[in-house]
Amino acid sequence: DVVLSQSPRSLPVTPGEPASISCRSSQRLLHSNGHNYLDWYLQKPGQPPQLLIYLGSTRASGVPDRFSASGSGTYFTLRITRVEPEDVGVYYCMQGLQTPWTFGQGTKVEI
């Protein structure tokens, strides 16, 4: 199975400051069609996960532009330019290239 390793596991943040989370994959997630099959989800406390980013770097509908993502192959990064209080929660990367799809362990972002 593809193993995704996120770092850091815990990220204290200050509102207005930037934040960054990395996700490293045990296998390349670049499909032959040129897309990376790597998504980012945020699970706010007491809520189901919500999609932030798909195909490595495409922001989902309604996601603020302070969220961005980059990377290819085995290394990916999610960035928040200026953290807002509503951004707290656990962030997960997930790969959809090879079944079983797998998630990273999560990064808990707290203020």
Partner 1 sequence: QAHLVQSGPEVKKPGASVKISCRAFGYPFKSYVLSWVRQAPGQGLEWMGWISPYNGNTNYARRFQGRVTLTTDTSTTTVNMELRTLTSDDTAVYYCARGVIVASPYHYMDVWAKGTTVTVSS
3 state SS of 32: coil
Least distance to partner 1 from the beta carbon of 47, Å? 8
Residues 50 to 89 in contact with partner 1, rule: CB under 8 A = 50-51, 54-55, 60-61
The DSSP secondary-structure symbol of 27 reads S
Tokens of residue 82, six digits: 């200026």
Least distance to partner 1 from the beta carbon of 90, Å? 8
Give residues in contact with partner 1 (CB under 8 A): 31, 33, 35, 37, 39, 41, 43, 47-51, 54-55, 60-61, 90, 92, 94, 96-97, 99-106
